[in-house]
Structure 1
Amino acid sequence: MSRDHERIRQVTERLAAAGVPSPRVDARLLVEHVVAVAGSCDGCGAALLDGLVSRRADREPLQLVLGRTWFRELELRCAPGVFIPRPETEIVAGVAIDEARRHGAAIVAEPCTGTGAIALSVAVEVSGARIVATDVDPRAVATARDNLGRVLAGEAGAPLVADQVEILDGDLLAPLAPELRGRIDVLVANPPYLPASDRGSWQPEVADHDPDRALVGGTDGHEVVERLLADATAWLRPGGLVVLEIDDRRAGDARAAATAVGLTAVDVVRDLTGADRAVVARRAR
Protein backbone atom coordinates (compact mmCIF):
# COMPACT_ATOMS: atom_id res chain seq x y z
CA MET A 1 0.00 0.00 0.00
CA SER A 2 1.38 3.44 -0.92
CA ARG A 3 1.96 6.05 1.73
CA ASP A 4 -0.92 8.22 0.44
CA HIS A 5 -3.28 5.25 0.46
CA GLU A 6 -2.31 4.57 4.05
CA ARG A 7 -2.96 8.22 4.91
CA ILE A 8 -6.39 7.99 3.30
CA ARG A 9 -7.16 4.87 5.34
CA GLN A 10 -6.11 6.58 8.57
CA VAL A 11 -8.06 9.73 7.83
CA THR A 12 -11.10 7.68 6.83
CA GLU A 13 -11.08 5.93 10.20
CA ARG A 14 -10.74 9.23 12.03
CA LEU A 15 -13.59 10.86 10.14
CA ALA A 16 -15.83 7.80 10.47
CA ALA A 17 -15.30 7.82 14.23
CA ALA A 18 -16.43 11.45 14.27
CA GLY A 19 -19.65 10.56 12.45
CA VAL A 20 -18.75 12.33 9.21
CA PRO A 21 -20.86 11.20 6.24
CA SER A 22 -18.88 9.68 3.31
CA PRO A 23 -15.62 9.57 5.31
CA ARG A 24 -13.55 7.85 2.61
CA VAL A 25 -14.48 10.36 -0.09
CA ASP A 26 -13.66 13.25 2.23
CA ALA A 27 -10.40 11.59 3.29
CA ARG A 28 -9.29 11.17 -0.32
CA LEU A 29 -10.09 14.79 -1.18
CA LEU A 30 -8.27 16.08 1.90
CA VAL A 31 -5.15 14.03 1.16
CA GLU A 32 -5.19 15.08 -2.50
CA HIS A 33 -5.53 18.71 -1.45
CA VAL A 34 -2.53 18.52 0.87
CA VAL A 35 -0.41 16.76 -1.75
CA ALA A 36 -1.31 19.49 -4.26
CA VAL A 37 -0.49 22.28 -1.78
CA ALA A 38 2.48 20.88 0.13
CA GLY A 39 3.85 18.26 -2.29
CA SER A 40 3.33 15.40 0.16
CA CYS A 41 1.69 14.49 3.45
CA ASP A 42 5.06 14.36 5.23
CA GLY A 43 6.67 17.07 7.32
CA CYS A 44 4.72 20.33 6.94
CA GLY A 45 2.20 18.45 4.86
CA ALA A 46 1.46 16.15 7.78
CA ALA A 47 0.76 19.11 10.05
CA LEU A 48 -1.47 20.71 7.41
CA LEU A 49 -3.39 17.47 6.91
CA ASP A 50 -3.89 17.01 10.64
CA GLY A 51 -5.34 20.51 10.96
CA LEU A 52 -7.71 20.04 8.04
CA VAL A 53 -8.85 16.65 9.26
CA SER A 54 -9.50 18.09 12.73
CA ARG A 55 -11.74 20.74 11.19
CA ARG A 56 -13.66 18.16 9.19
CA ALA A 57 -13.95 15.87 12.23
CA ASP A 58 -15.51 18.83 14.05
CA ARG A 59 -18.14 18.73 11.27
CA GLU A 60 -17.04 21.82 9.42
CA PRO A 61 -18.22 21.28 5.82
CA LEU A 62 -15.58 19.85 3.51
CA GLN A 63 -16.15 22.74 1.09
CA LEU A 64 -15.14 25.27 3.76
CA VAL A 65 -12.18 23.17 4.85
CA LEU A 66 -10.93 23.06 1.26
CA GLY A 67 -12.10 26.61 0.52
CA ARG A 68 -13.79 25.53 -2.69
CA THR A 69 -16.49 23.40 -4.23
CA TRP A 70 -17.40 22.12 -7.70
CA PHE A 71 -20.62 22.95 -9.52
CA ARG A 72 -21.23 21.74 -13.06
CA GLU A 73 -18.18 23.07 -15.02
CA LEU A 74 -16.97 25.43 -12.29
CA GLU A 75 -14.65 25.38 -9.32
CA LEU A 76 -16.04 27.96 -6.91
CA ARG A 77 -14.67 29.54 -3.78
CA CYS A 78 -16.67 29.05 -0.61
CA ALA A 79 -16.69 31.39 2.36
CA PRO A 80 -17.90 31.11 5.97
CA GLY A 81 -21.47 32.29 6.37
CA VAL A 82 -22.35 31.82 2.68
CA PHE A 83 -24.66 29.01 1.58
CA ILE A 84 -22.76 26.12 -0.01
CA PRO A 85 -24.31 24.94 -3.32
CA ARG A 86 -25.50 21.34 -3.38
CA PRO A 87 -25.18 18.83 -6.23
CA GLU A 88 -28.97 18.61 -6.61
CA THR A 89 -29.08 22.29 -7.52
CA GLU A 90 -27.13 21.43 -10.68
CA ILE A 91 -30.43 19.99 -11.97
CA VAL A 92 -32.13 23.36 -11.36
CA ALA A 93 -29.33 25.18 -13.16
CA GLY A 94 -29.54 22.72 -16.02
CA VAL A 95 -33.22 23.46 -16.65
CA ALA A 96 -32.48 27.20 -16.74
CA ILE A 97 -29.49 26.68 -19.04
CA ASP A 98 -31.49 24.56 -21.48
CA GLU A 99 -34.18 27.25 -21.64
CA ALA A 100 -31.68 30.11 -22.01
CA ARG A 101 -30.04 28.32 -24.95
CA ARG A 102 -33.31 28.54 -26.84
CA HIS A 103 -32.95 32.31 -27.03
CA GLY A 104 -30.38 34.27 -29.01
CA ALA A 105 -29.41 36.58 -26.17
CA ALA A 106 -31.31 35.42 -23.10
CA ILE A 107 -31.90 37.66 -20.11
CA VAL A 108 -31.65 35.58 -16.93
CA ALA A 109 -32.36 36.69 -13.37
CA GLU A 110 -31.13 34.75 -10.36
CA PRO A 111 -32.09 35.99 -6.89
CA CYS A 112 -30.60 34.31 -3.81
CA THR A 113 -27.35 33.72 -5.71
CA GLY A 114 -25.10 32.73 -2.77
CA THR A 115 -21.72 31.80 -4.26
CA GLY A 116 -22.99 32.69 -7.74
CA ALA A 117 -23.08 29.05 -8.79
CA ILE A 118 -26.21 29.16 -10.95
CA ALA A 119 -25.55 32.60 -12.47
CA LEU A 120 -21.98 31.75 -13.41
CA SER A 121 -22.96 28.36 -14.80
CA VAL A 122 -25.43 30.08 -17.11
CA ALA A 123 -22.72 32.57 -18.12
CA VAL A 124 -20.18 29.95 -19.12
CA GLU A 125 -22.65 27.52 -20.72
CA VAL A 126 -24.94 29.89 -22.63
CA SER A 127 -23.27 32.08 -25.22
CA GLY A 128 -24.55 35.65 -25.23
CA ALA A 129 -26.71 35.36 -22.14
CA ARG A 130 -27.08 38.38 -19.84
CA ILE A 131 -27.37 37.44 -16.18
CA VAL A 132 -28.43 39.59 -13.24
CA ALA A 133 -27.97 37.94 -9.85
CA THR A 134 -28.90 39.27 -6.41
CA ASP A 135 -28.49 38.40 -2.77
CA VAL A 136 -29.61 40.16 0.38
CA ASP A 137 -26.47 39.07 2.28
CA PRO A 138 -23.40 41.26 1.63
CA ARG A 139 -21.11 38.29 2.35
CA ALA A 140 -22.78 36.30 -0.40
CA VAL A 141 -22.55 39.22 -2.81
CA ALA A 142 -18.82 39.54 -2.09
CA THR A 143 -18.28 35.80 -2.59
CA ALA A 144 -20.26 35.72 -5.83
CA ARG A 145 -18.33 38.73 -7.16
CA ASP A 146 -15.06 37.02 -6.22
CA ASN A 147 -16.12 33.92 -8.12
CA LEU A 148 -17.18 36.06 -11.08
CA GLY A 149 -13.73 37.65 -11.12
CA ARG A 150 -12.11 34.22 -11.12
CA VAL A 151 -14.28 33.05 -14.04
CA LEU A 152 -13.48 36.18 -16.02
CA ALA A 153 -9.79 35.62 -15.32
CA GLY A 154 -10.02 31.99 -16.44
CA GLU A 155 -9.21 30.65 -12.96
CA ALA A 156 -12.36 28.64 -12.29
CA GLY A 157 -11.93 25.75 -14.69
CA ALA A 158 -14.31 27.23 -17.26
CA PRO A 159 -14.01 29.16 -20.52
CA LEU A 160 -13.62 32.90 -20.37
CA VAL A 161 -16.89 34.78 -20.54
CA ALA A 162 -17.67 38.34 -21.49
CA ASP A 163 -18.45 40.77 -18.70
CA GLN A 164 -22.16 40.06 -18.89
CA VAL A 165 -22.91 39.03 -15.30
CA GLU A 166 -24.11 41.64 -12.82
CA ILE A 167 -24.28 40.79 -9.11
CA LEU A 168 -26.37 43.16 -7.02
CA ASP A 169 -26.96 43.57 -3.28
CA GLY A 170 -30.63 43.46 -2.35
CA ASP A 171 -33.79 41.46 -1.73
CA LEU A 172 -34.93 39.14 -4.52
CA LEU A 173 -35.86 41.14 -7.65
CA ALA A 174 -35.94 44.59 -6.02
CA PRO A 175 -32.41 45.55 -7.21
CA LEU A 176 -33.18 44.86 -10.89
CA ALA A 177 -33.42 47.78 -13.28
CA PRO A 178 -37.06 48.71 -13.95
CA GLU A 179 -36.56 48.36 -17.71
CA LEU A 180 -36.10 44.59 -17.22
CA ARG A 181 -39.68 44.23 -16.03
CA GLY A 182 -41.53 42.07 -18.54
CA ARG A 183 -38.34 41.23 -20.47
CA ILE A 184 -36.71 38.38 -18.52
CA ASP A 185 -36.49 35.07 -20.37
CA VAL A 186 -35.59 32.90 -17.37
CA LEU A 187 -36.07 33.48 -13.65
CA VAL A 188 -34.15 30.84 -11.70
CA ALA A 189 -33.39 30.54 -8.00
CA ASN A 190 -32.57 28.28 -5.11
CA PRO A 191 -34.44 30.32 -2.48
CA PRO A 192 -34.83 29.55 1.22
CA TYR A 193 -37.68 27.05 1.41
CA LEU A 194 -37.54 25.18 4.72
CA PRO A 195 -40.05 25.80 7.52
CA ALA A 196 -38.89 27.25 10.82
CA SER A 197 -39.92 24.01 12.53
CA ASP A 198 -37.08 22.19 10.74
CA ARG A 199 -34.50 23.98 12.86
CA GLY A 200 -32.86 21.51 15.21
CA SER A 201 -33.14 18.60 12.77
CA TRP A 202 -30.16 19.46 10.58
CA GLN A 203 -26.71 17.89 10.53
CA PRO A 204 -23.95 20.06 12.10
CA GLU A 205 -22.54 20.89 8.66
CA VAL A 206 -25.81 22.67 7.91
CA ALA A 207 -26.96 23.91 11.31
CA ASP A 208 -23.61 25.40 12.32
CA HIS A 209 -22.39 26.76 8.99
CA ASP A 210 -25.12 27.50 6.42
CA PRO A 211 -26.76 30.88 7.08
CA ASP A 212 -30.25 30.48 8.51
CA ARG A 213 -31.71 33.06 6.12
CA ALA A 214 -30.58 30.93 3.17
CA LEU A 215 -32.39 27.90 4.58
CA VAL A 216 -35.61 29.04 6.25
CA GLY A 217 -38.23 30.66 4.04
CA GLY A 218 -40.39 31.70 6.98
CA THR A 219 -42.69 30.11 9.52
CA ASP A 220 -44.35 28.02 6.83
CA GLY A 221 -41.20 27.77 4.69
CA HIS A 222 -42.97 28.46 1.41
CA GLU A 223 -43.14 32.24 1.71
CA VAL A 224 -40.18 33.12 -0.55
CA VAL A 225 -41.16 30.56 -3.19
CA GLU A 226 -44.64 32.10 -3.34
CA ARG A 227 -43.22 35.64 -3.58
CA LEU A 228 -41.01 34.68 -6.50
CA LEU A 229 -43.81 32.89 -8.32
CA ALA A 230 -45.98 36.00 -7.98
CA ASP A 231 -43.10 38.24 -9.11
CA ALA A 232 -42.55 36.02 -12.15
CA THR A 233 -45.85 37.16 -13.64
CA ALA A 234 -44.54 40.75 -13.81
CA TRP A 235 -40.84 40.26 -14.57
CA LEU A 236 -40.92 37.46 -17.13
CA ARG A 237 -41.63 38.19 -20.78
CA PRO A 238 -44.75 36.44 -22.14
CA GLY A 239 -43.76 32.78 -22.45
CA GLY A 240 -40.77 33.23 -20.11
CA LEU A 241 -39.83 30.43 -17.71
CA VAL A 242 -39.48 30.41 -13.92
CA VAL A 243 -37.46 27.61 -12.30
CA LEU A 244 -37.38 27.47 -8.48
CA GLU A 245 -35.81 24.84 -6.26
CA ILE A 246 -38.32 23.61 -3.68
CA ASP A 247 -38.68 21.52 -0.58
CA ASP A 248 -39.37 18.03 -1.91
CA ARG A 249 -42.25 17.80 0.58
CA ARG A 250 -44.00 20.80 -0.98
CA ALA A 251 -44.36 19.93 -4.66
CA GLY A 252 -48.16 20.06 -4.46
CA ASP A 253 -48.05 23.45 -2.74
CA ALA A 254 -45.64 24.78 -5.36
CA ARG A 255 -47.88 23.63 -8.21
CA ALA A 256 -50.90 25.22 -6.56
CA ALA A 257 -49.09 28.50 -5.88
CA ALA A 258 -47.88 28.75 -9.49
CA THR A 259 -51.34 28.07 -10.84
CA ALA A 260 -52.94 30.53 -8.42
CA VAL A 261 -50.92 33.48 -9.75
CA GLY A 262 -51.77 32.65 -13.36
CA LEU A 263 -48.62 30.85 -14.49
CA THR A 264 -49.09 28.11 -17.06
CA ALA A 265 -47.44 24.81 -18.09
CA VAL A 266 -46.73 24.15 -14.41
CA ASP A 267 -44.54 21.12 -13.77
CA VAL A 268 -42.21 19.66 -11.16
CA VAL A 269 -38.70 18.44 -12.03
CA ARG A 270 -37.14 15.57 -10.11
CA ASP A 271 -33.46 15.27 -9.23
CA LEU A 272 -31.27 12.20 -9.76
CA THR A 273 -32.52 10.65 -6.50
CA GLY A 274 -36.14 10.89 -7.69
CA ALA A 275 -37.00 13.68 -5.24
CA ASP A 276 -39.18 16.58 -6.37
CA ARG A 277 -36.56 19.30 -6.81
CA ALA A 278 -37.96 22.28 -8.72
CA VAL A 279 -41.20 23.86 -9.80
CA VAL A 280 -41.20 25.04 -13.41
CA ALA A 281 -43.84 27.29 -14.99
CA ARG A 282 -44.34 29.88 -17.74
CA ARG A 283 -45.86 33.28 -17.90
CA ALA A 284 -48.90 33.14 -20.16
CA ARG A 285 -48.31 34.45 -23.67
Structure 2
Amino acid sequence: MPPLSPSLPPSPPTRDSVVAALRAAGCVFAEDEAELILATARTPEELAGLVDRRVAGLPLELVVGWAEFRGLRITVEPGVFVPRRRTEFLVEQALAQVPDASVVVDLCCGSGALGAALASALGPVELHAADLDPAAVRCARRNVDGHVHQGDLFAALPDHLRGRIDILAANVPYVPTGEVAFLPAEARDHEPRTALDGGADGLDILRRVAAGAPDWLASGGCVLIETSGRQAAAALAAFAASGLASRLAVAEDQYATVVVGVRE
Protein backbone atom coordinates (compact mmCIF):
# COMPACT_ATOMS: atom_id res chain seq x y z
CA MET A 1 0.00 0.00 0.00
CA PRO A 2 2.25 2.89 -1.21
CA PRO A 3 1.69 6.42 0.11
CA LEU A 4 -0.66 8.32 -2.14
CA SER A 5 -0.09 11.74 -0.59
CA PRO A 6 2.06 13.39 2.08
CA SER A 7 1.27 11.50 5.27
CA LEU A 8 0.67 14.44 7.59
CA PRO A 9 0.77 18.21 7.22
CA PRO A 10 3.64 20.02 8.99
CA SER A 11 1.38 21.34 11.76
CA PRO A 12 0.86 19.20 14.91
CA PRO A 13 -1.21 16.14 13.90
CA THR A 14 -4.81 15.86 15.00
CA ARG A 15 -7.20 12.92 14.94
CA ASP A 16 -8.79 14.25 11.78
CA SER A 17 -5.46 14.67 10.01
CA VAL A 18 -4.38 11.15 11.01
CA VAL A 19 -7.66 9.68 9.72
CA ALA A 20 -7.32 11.64 6.49
CA ALA A 21 -3.75 10.42 5.93
CA LEU A 22 -4.71 6.79 6.56
CA ARG A 23 -7.79 7.01 4.37
CA ALA A 24 -5.78 8.56 1.52
CA ALA A 25 -3.34 5.65 1.78
CA GLY A 26 -6.16 3.15 1.34
CA CYS A 27 -6.72 2.01 4.93
CA VAL A 28 -10.28 0.68 4.99
CA PHE A 29 -10.70 1.09 8.75
CA ALA A 30 -8.94 4.44 8.97
CA GLU A 31 -10.90 5.67 12.01
CA ASP A 32 -10.21 2.54 14.07
CA GLU A 33 -6.56 2.50 13.09
CA ALA A 34 -6.20 6.17 13.93
CA GLU A 35 -7.48 5.54 17.46
CA LEU A 36 -4.88 2.81 18.03
CA ILE A 37 -2.05 4.88 16.61
CA LEU A 38 -3.07 7.94 18.65
CA ALA A 39 -3.20 5.84 21.81
CA THR A 40 0.27 4.44 21.13
CA ALA A 41 2.14 7.65 20.33
CA ARG A 42 3.65 9.54 23.25
CA THR A 43 4.68 12.69 21.38
CA PRO A 44 3.57 14.48 18.21
CA GLU A 45 6.85 13.48 16.59
CA GLU A 46 6.31 9.83 17.42
CA LEU A 47 2.76 10.07 16.12
CA ALA A 48 3.97 11.44 12.80
CA GLY A 49 6.48 8.61 12.54
CA LEU A 50 3.87 5.95 13.24
CA VAL A 51 1.53 7.39 10.63
CA ASP A 52 4.36 7.55 8.09
CA ARG A 53 5.14 3.86 8.64
CA ARG A 54 1.49 2.84 8.30
CA VAL A 55 1.03 4.96 5.16
CA ALA A 56 4.15 3.27 3.72
CA GLY A 57 2.40 -0.09 4.05
CA LEU A 58 3.72 -1.52 7.32
CA PRO A 59 1.03 -3.68 8.97
CA LEU A 60 -0.82 -1.87 11.73
CA GLU A 61 0.26 -4.43 14.33
CA LEU A 62 3.91 -3.78 13.56
CA VAL A 63 3.32 -0.03 13.65
CA VAL A 64 1.87 -0.11 17.17
CA GLY A 65 3.98 -3.09 18.29
CA TRP A 66 1.21 -5.46 19.35
CA ALA A 67 -1.76 -7.49 18.21
CA GLU A 68 -4.90 -8.34 20.15
CA PHE A 69 -5.52 -12.06 20.52
CA ARG A 70 -8.27 -13.46 22.75
CA GLY A 71 -8.17 -10.33 24.87
CA LEU A 72 -4.39 -10.39 25.27
CA ARG A 73 -1.97 -7.80 23.96
CA ILE A 74 0.61 -9.87 22.10
CA THR A 75 3.91 -8.16 21.32
CA VAL A 76 4.84 -8.43 17.65
CA GLU A 77 8.09 -7.44 15.99
CA PRO A 78 9.30 -6.96 12.40
CA GLY A 79 9.99 -10.26 10.69
CA VAL A 80 7.56 -12.23 12.87
CA PHE A 81 4.19 -13.65 11.81
CA VAL A 82 1.28 -11.55 13.10
CA PRO A 83 -1.39 -13.69 14.83
CA ARG A 84 -4.72 -13.73 13.01
CA ARG A 85 -8.00 -13.29 14.83
CA ARG A 86 -9.46 -16.35 13.08
CA THR A 87 -6.88 -18.49 14.88
CA GLU A 88 -8.73 -17.77 18.13
CA PHE A 89 -11.06 -20.54 16.93
CA LEU A 90 -8.22 -23.05 17.25
CA VAL A 91 -7.76 -22.03 20.87
CA GLU A 92 -11.48 -22.47 21.52
CA GLN A 93 -11.38 -25.97 20.03
CA ALA A 94 -8.37 -26.93 22.13
CA LEU A 95 -10.03 -25.76 25.35
CA ALA A 96 -13.21 -27.64 24.49
CA GLN A 97 -11.29 -30.84 23.72
CA VAL A 98 -9.02 -30.87 26.79
CA PRO A 99 -10.40 -28.38 29.33
CA ASP A 100 -8.16 -29.70 32.10
CA ALA A 101 -4.90 -29.71 30.14
CA SER A 102 -1.75 -29.37 32.22
CA VAL A 103 0.98 -29.65 29.54
CA VAL A 104 0.65 -27.37 26.50
CA VAL A 105 2.93 -26.93 23.51
CA ASP A 106 2.74 -24.16 20.90
CA LEU A 107 4.64 -25.46 17.87
CA CYS A 108 5.63 -23.11 15.02
CA CYS A 109 4.85 -20.54 17.69
CA GLY A 110 5.73 -17.28 15.95
CA SER A 111 4.92 -14.60 18.52
CA GLY A 112 3.69 -17.24 21.00
CA ALA A 113 0.10 -16.05 20.81
CA LEU A 114 -1.46 -19.53 20.91
CA GLY A 115 0.51 -20.64 23.93
CA ALA A 116 -0.11 -17.39 25.78
CA ALA A 117 -3.86 -17.57 25.11
CA LEU A 118 -4.12 -21.21 26.15
CA ALA A 119 -2.20 -20.61 29.36
CA SER A 120 -4.33 -17.55 30.14
CA ALA A 121 -7.51 -19.62 29.81
CA LEU A 122 -6.30 -22.77 31.54
CA GLY A 123 -4.48 -21.29 34.51
CA PRO A 124 -1.19 -22.80 35.73
CA VAL A 125 0.17 -25.15 33.08
CA GLU A 126 3.53 -26.43 31.92
CA LEU A 127 3.87 -24.36 28.75
CA HIS A 128 6.40 -24.85 25.98
CA ALA A 129 6.69 -22.99 22.68
CA ALA A 130 9.05 -23.61 19.79
CA ASP A 131 9.97 -22.11 16.43
CA LEU A 132 12.75 -22.51 13.90
CA ASP A 133 13.13 -18.74 13.37
CA PRO A 134 15.40 -16.94 15.89
CA ALA A 135 13.35 -13.72 15.49
CA ALA A 136 10.17 -15.59 16.42
CA VAL A 137 11.85 -17.18 19.42
CA ARG A 138 13.00 -13.79 20.68
CA CYS A 139 9.51 -12.37 20.26
CA ALA A 140 7.78 -15.36 21.87
CA ARG A 141 9.98 -15.02 24.94
CA ARG A 142 8.36 -11.63 25.49
CA ASN A 143 4.85 -13.12 25.39
CA VAL A 144 5.12 -16.62 26.82
CA ASP A 145 5.33 -17.32 30.53
CA GLY A 146 6.99 -20.66 30.00
CA HIS A 147 9.78 -22.34 28.06
CA VAL A 148 10.58 -21.18 24.52
CA HIS A 149 12.83 -23.36 22.37
CA GLN A 150 14.48 -22.87 19.00
CA GLY A 151 14.55 -25.72 16.51
CA ASP A 152 12.76 -27.67 13.80
CA LEU A 153 9.35 -28.85 15.05
CA PHE A 154 9.65 -31.72 17.57
CA ALA A 155 13.46 -31.61 17.49
CA ALA A 156 13.21 -28.38 19.45
CA LEU A 157 11.31 -29.95 22.35
CA PRO A 158 12.91 -31.51 25.44
CA ASP A 159 12.61 -35.28 25.42
CA HIS A 160 10.81 -35.37 28.77
CA LEU A 161 7.69 -34.10 26.99
CA ARG A 162 7.25 -37.34 25.03
CA GLY A 163 3.90 -38.90 25.84
CA ARG A 164 2.92 -36.02 28.16
CA ILE A 165 1.46 -33.28 25.95
CA ASP A 166 -2.25 -32.62 26.48
CA ILE A 167 -2.62 -29.85 23.88
CA LEU A 168 -0.30 -29.51 20.90
CA ALA A 169 -1.31 -26.37 19.00
CA ALA A 170 0.51 -25.79 15.72
CA ASN A 171 -0.27 -22.82 13.50
CA VAL A 172 1.85 -24.16 10.65
CA PRO A 173 2.34 -22.42 7.27
CA TYR A 174 -0.27 -23.71 4.83
CA VAL A 175 -0.20 -21.45 1.77
CA PRO A 176 0.81 -23.43 -1.35
CA THR A 177 4.14 -22.21 -2.70
CA GLY A 178 2.61 -21.05 -5.96
CA GLU A 179 0.09 -18.86 -4.17
CA VAL A 180 2.41 -16.95 -1.81
CA ALA A 181 2.90 -14.24 -4.44
CA PHE A 182 -0.85 -13.56 -4.41
CA LEU A 183 -1.10 -12.93 -0.67
CA PRO A 184 -1.92 -9.40 0.55
CA ALA A 185 1.17 -7.21 0.52
CA GLU A 186 1.09 -6.82 4.31
CA ALA A 187 1.76 -10.55 4.69
CA ARG A 188 3.85 -11.11 1.56
CA ASP A 189 6.21 -8.18 2.14
CA HIS A 190 6.47 -8.07 5.93
CA GLU A 191 6.18 -11.61 7.27
CA PRO A 192 8.78 -14.37 6.89
CA ARG A 193 8.13 -16.70 3.97
CA THR A 194 8.82 -19.67 6.23
CA ALA A 195 5.71 -18.72 8.22
CA LEU A 196 3.55 -18.67 5.08
CA ASP A 197 4.83 -21.21 2.55
CA GLY A 198 3.56 -24.72 3.20
CA GLY A 199 5.05 -26.40 0.12
CA ALA A 200 3.52 -27.51 -3.17
CA ASP A 201 0.03 -28.19 -1.78
CA GLY A 202 0.46 -26.22 1.43
CA LEU A 203 0.49 -29.27 3.68
CA ASP A 204 4.17 -30.21 3.98
CA ILE A 205 4.55 -29.03 7.58
CA LEU A 206 1.09 -30.23 8.59
CA ARG A 207 2.01 -33.76 7.49
CA ARG A 208 5.22 -33.67 9.50
CA VAL A 209 3.42 -32.50 12.63
CA ALA A 210 0.67 -35.10 12.20
CA ALA A 211 3.24 -37.87 11.73
CA GLY A 212 5.19 -36.95 14.84
CA ALA A 213 2.35 -35.99 17.16
CA PRO A 214 1.33 -39.49 18.42
CA ASP A 215 4.76 -40.01 20.04
CA TRP A 216 4.42 -36.77 22.00
CA LEU A 217 0.75 -36.68 22.98
CA ALA A 218 -0.56 -38.02 26.26
CA SER A 219 -3.45 -40.46 26.12
CA GLY A 220 -6.46 -38.29 25.27
CA GLY A 221 -4.17 -35.46 24.20
CA CYS A 222 -4.91 -33.56 21.00
CA VAL A 223 -3.08 -31.84 18.17
CA LEU A 224 -4.80 -28.95 16.41
CA ILE A 225 -3.73 -27.33 13.15
CA GLU A 226 -5.38 -24.56 11.18
CA THR A 227 -5.81 -25.14 7.45
CA SER A 228 -8.11 -24.03 4.62
CA GLY A 229 -11.43 -25.50 3.58
CA ARG A 230 -10.10 -26.79 0.28
CA GLN A 231 -7.19 -28.52 2.04
CA ALA A 232 -9.36 -30.04 4.76
CA ALA A 233 -9.86 -33.49 3.21
CA ALA A 234 -6.14 -34.00 2.61
CA ALA A 235 -5.33 -32.69 6.09
CA LEU A 236 -7.79 -35.13 7.68
CA ALA A 237 -6.24 -37.95 5.70
CA ALA A 238 -2.79 -37.03 7.02
CA PHE A 239 -4.07 -37.12 10.59
CA ALA A 240 -5.81 -40.46 10.03
CA ALA A 241 -2.64 -41.93 8.52
CA SER A 242 -0.88 -41.19 11.80
CA GLY A 243 -3.46 -43.16 13.76
CA LEU A 244 -5.15 -40.13 15.27
CA ALA A 245 -8.91 -39.97 15.80
CA SER A 246 -9.61 -36.93 13.67
CA ARG A 247 -12.37 -34.42 13.10
CA LEU A 248 -12.83 -31.13 11.31
CA ALA A 249 -14.01 -27.97 13.07
CA VAL A 250 -15.25 -25.05 10.98
CA ALA A 251 -16.32 -21.52 11.91
CA GLU A 252 -17.65 -20.02 8.70
CA ASP A 253 -18.13 -16.57 10.20
CA GLN A 254 -14.43 -16.48 11.12
CA TYR A 255 -13.21 -18.16 7.92
CA ALA A 256 -11.51 -20.68 10.20
CA THR A 257 -10.91 -24.38 9.55
CA VAL A 258 -9.14 -26.51 12.15
CA VAL A 259 -8.18 -30.18 12.04
CA VAL A 260 -8.26 -31.85 15.47
CA GLY A 261 -6.52 -35.16 16.10
CA VAL A 262 -6.76 -37.09 19.36
CA ARG A 263 -4.49 -39.85 20.62
CA GLU A 264 -6.87 -42.42 22.05
Same fold (TM over 0.5): yes
What is residue 15 of structure 1 aligned with on the other side?
22
2:202 is matched by which residue type in structure 1?
G
What is residue 261 of structure 2 aligned with on the other side?
281
What is residue 31 of structure 1 aligned with on the other side?
38
Q: CA 1:197–1:175 in structure 2 vs 1: closer, same or farther (change >3 Å)?
A: same
The alpha carbon displacement at 1:213 in A equals 0.2
What is residue 184 of structure 2 aligned with on the other side?
203
Q: Please report the TM-score for the alignment, with normalisation by the length of structure 2.
A: 0.88
Tell me, what secondary structure is at the counterpart of 1:88? Answer: helix
Residue 270 (1) aligns with residue 250 (2): yes
Give the unaligned 5+ runs of structure 2: 1-12
Q: CA 1:233–1:260 in structure 2 vs 1: closer, same or farther (change >3 Å)?
A: same
CA deviations over 1:12-71 (Å, ceiling 9, x no partner): 33222222232222122112323xx23xxxxxx1x3322211111111011111111211
CA deviations over 1:183-215 (Å, ceiling 9, x no partner): 211111111111111122122211111110001
CA deviations over 1:141-185 (Å, ceiling 9, x no partner): 11111223xxx6xxxxxxxxxxxx211011111122223222211
Aligned with 1:62 (options 60, 63, 81)? 60
1:32-51 matched pairs, under 5 angstroms: 32-34=39-41, 37-38=42-43, 45=44, 47-51=45-49
Moved segments of 4+, more than 6 Å: none
Aligned with 1:216 (options 155, 175, 197)? 197
What is residue 172 of structure 1 aligned with on the other side?
153
Tell me, what secondary structure is at the counterpart of 2:14? Answer: helix
Q: What CA RMSD, in Å, does the superposition of the two structures yield over aligned residues?
A: 1.9
Greater Cα offset, 24-33 or 94-103: 94-103
Number of residue-to-residue matches in the alignment: 252
Residue 254 (1) aligns with residue 235 (2): yes
The alpha carbon displacement at 1:245 in A equals 1.1
Aligned with 2:113 (options 117, 127, 145)? 117
The alpha carbon displacement at 1:274 in A equals 5.0
The alpha carbon displacement at 1:228 in A equals 0.8
Contact 1:243/1:278 (<8 A) preserved: yes
1:213 is matched by which residue type in structure 2?
T
Q: Please report the TM-score for the alignment, with normalisation by the length of structure 1.
A: 0.82
